Amino acid sequence: MTSHDVPVEIAAALRRAGVQPGSRLCCALSGGVDSVVLFEALCRLRAELGFTLGAAHVDHGLSANAASWAEACRARCEAAGVPFALFRVGVTHTRGEGLEAAARAARLDALRRVDCDWLVFGHHQDDQAETVLFRLLRGAGVRGAAAMRAFSPPRAGHPGSLRPMLGLRRARIECWARAEGLDWVEDESNTALHFTRNALRHRLLPCAQAIFPAAVPALARAAAHFAEGDALLGELAALDAQSCGGAPLSRRVFLGLSTARQANLVRWLLRRADAQPPGAQRLSEALRQLGASPAGRALDVSLGAWALRAYRDAVWVEPVSAPVPEARAWHGEPALPWAGDWVRFESVCGEGLSAARLAAALRCELAPREPGMHLRVSPLRPRRELRKLCQEAGIPAWLRARLPVLWVDGEPAWVGGIGIASAFAAAPGEPGVLPRWPAGGPAEA
C-alpha cells in the first residue's frame, strides 16, 4: 500500500461526481478516523483539483467528550488553513424514532445550512453494507435498499452530497491513517450494542462474513443494483406522469395504470416535492379509495403531511395545508398558472365572458375569492353566496379557498367550477372568452 492510493481513489470519485475547479466543498468532520482520512485527502487534493475546502463539525452534546472532539476538529482545521464551522444542536426523538435516527437527522439539518456546493461525507463500504442490511430488515423497498448514493448533484438551494470513500473498506482506511501518522478521536458510543447499527456491525455482519467472506462488497454491490432499479422506476414514473397530462394528472388515465405504477408515480411526485412518501399500507388505502370513488367525485385522502386529492378529472398530491395562490394580472394570455394547474382562456362565440367587456376593462386579475363573496350566475336569480354555490356544485371545502376568480375592475366575473357572472356574459353571436379550470396544462401557442 502506497501513501497515495487513498487520495488517488478519492480524487477519481470527485471527478466522477463532476467536481469542478472553483467548486466549494465542505467536509463533514466528526473527528473519527473516517472523516479525518477524508479531510486529510481533501487537503492534499485542493491544488490538484482546484476546489476550495471548508469543514463543519456537529456537536450533539450527547457525550461528555463532545467538547474535546469539537476542539480537536477546530485545531485540525486551523493547522491546515481550512475554514471551520461548529454547529451545536439538540437531539429530540419522537415515539417510533430512535436516538440514532434523531441524531443523524439533526446533523444533516445543521450541515445543510453550510454555504457550499458539495457536502462531503466519510462513509465507506462497510457503512454501506450495514445500511443495506438495516434497511432490508426494516422492510425497505427498492429505493431504500439502494442505501447511500456515491453522489447526489447540487440542486436549487441545496448542496450536493459526496461520499468518495464508498468503495473503500474500513480496514483499508484505518491502515492508511496509521501509515500517515494521523490521529483521531474514538466515539465510545460506537461499541454500545443497544444501538441497532452497532449491533449489526459487531454481531450480524461478522456472522455473515464467516459464512460469506465477501459479504460486505456483495451487499455494496447489491445496493448499486437497487440504485439502478430505482433509477428505472423514476424513468417509468416520468413517462407515466407525461401520459397522464403532467400536473395535475388525468384521473381517467391515472386509474388506467396498474396499482403498482400508480403507487410508483405518487411516490415519485412526493420525492420531487421533497416530501416523505407514506408507508405502503397508507398509500395502498389512498389508491383504493380513489379507484372506488365514482367518476368526478371530489376526494381528499391523507398521506401524512401531504394528501392525495382529486376533483373532476384532475388528480394531484399537495400539502394538507396548501397555500392560497397569489393574485396575478391577466393581459389576455391564452393561459395562466393557478394552484398547480392552469386557467385556459378560449376564444368562443355567443358564450363565455363578453370579449368587448373585457377589452374595455381597466384591470383584469386572476385572484382568490374574498370572504362573503356573492355571485349572480343567472339574470333570473338573485346574487348568491359563493359558499352555497360551491355546495351545489359539489366543490369540496378544502378546494374553495383556492378557486380561481377572474376579477374585472374589482368585480367577480368568473369563478372556476361555478361559472360566469351574468353581468359579464357574452350575448348570442357576440365574441366571447371562455375560461376553463382545471385545464390540465397551458394553452397551445
Q: Are strands 52-59 and 24-28 parallel, antiparallel or unpaired?
A: parallel
Domain-located, residue 252: yes
Based on the domain organization, do 128 and 17 belong to the same domain?
yes
Copy the grid coordinates of residue 376: 349572480
Q: The cell 487513498 sits on which residue? A: 6
Q: How confident is the model at residue 102 (pLDDT cuts 50, 70, 90)?
A: confident
Give the chain's mean pLDDT. 91
d(Cα 64, Cα 36) in Å, to the nearest integer? 21
How far from chain centre, in Å, is Cα 407? 35
Residue 95, pLDDT above cutoff 60: no
Domain-located, residue 232: no
Find the CATH number of the domain harbouring 48: 3.40.50.620
Picking from 297, 319, 341, the residue at the C-terminal end of a domain is 319
Domain-located, residue 177: yes
Q: Name the more confident of 169 and 314.
A: 169
Q: Name the more confident of 375 and 155.
A: 375
pLDDT in tens, 25-66: 999 999 999 999 999 999 999 999 999 999 999 988 778 888
Based on the domain organization, do 332 and 417 belong to the same domain?
yes
What pLDDT is stored for residue 8 in this prediction? 95
From the list 131, 134, 132, 86, the residue with the least C-alpha distance to 107 is: 86
Domain-located, residue 267: yes
Domain-located, residue 230: no
What pLDDT is stored for residue 440 in this prediction? 58
Find the CATH number of the domain harbouring 296: 3.30.465
Based on the domain organization, do 274 and 212 belong to the same domain?
no
Based on the domain organization, do 313 and 288 belong to the same domain?
yes
Based on the domain organization, do 183 and 253 belong to the same domain?
no
Domain-located, residue 48: yes
d(Cα 367, Cα 370) in Å, to the nearest integer? 9
What pLDDT is stored for residue 49 in this prediction? 97
Picking from 294, 319, 344, the residue at the C-terminal end of a domain is 319
Based on the domain organization, do 172 and 68 belong to the same domain?
yes
Helix axis angle, 33-49 to 66-80, nearest 10°: 20
Summarize the confidence of residues 378-392 as an average pLDDT: 88
Based on the domain organization, do 15 and 160 belong to the same domain?
yes
Residue 444, pLDDT above cutoff 50: no
From the list 362, 360, 366, 314, the residue with the least C-alpha distance to 341 is: 314
What pLDDT is stored for residue 425 in this prediction? 95
CB atoms within 10 A of CB 29: 29
Picking from 319, 346, 380, the residue at the C-terminal end of a domain is 319
pLDDT in tens, 138-162: 999 999 999 999 999 998 778 999 9
Domain-located, residue 108: yes
What pLDDT is stored for residue 442 in this prediction? 46
User: What is the C-alpha R_g of the chain?
Assistant: 29
Domain-located, residue 283: yes
Based on the domain organization, do 335 and 304 belong to the same domain?
no
- Residue 67 structural domain: 5-223
Based on the domain organization, do 138 and 30 belong to the same domain?
yes
Copy the grid coordinates of residue 66: 463532545
Based on the domain organization, do 255 and 107 belong to the same domain?
no
Based on the domain organization, do 84 and 104 belong to the same domain?
yes
| Backbone angles phi and psi of 419, in degrees to 5 | 140, -160
Summarize the confidence of residues 112-129 as an average pLDDT: 95
Cβ-Cβ contacts under 8 Å for 323 (sequence gap 6 or more) = none
Q: How many domains does the chain have?
A: 3
Based on the domain organization, do 63 and 197 belong to the same domain?
yes
Residue 98, pLDDT above cutoff 90: no
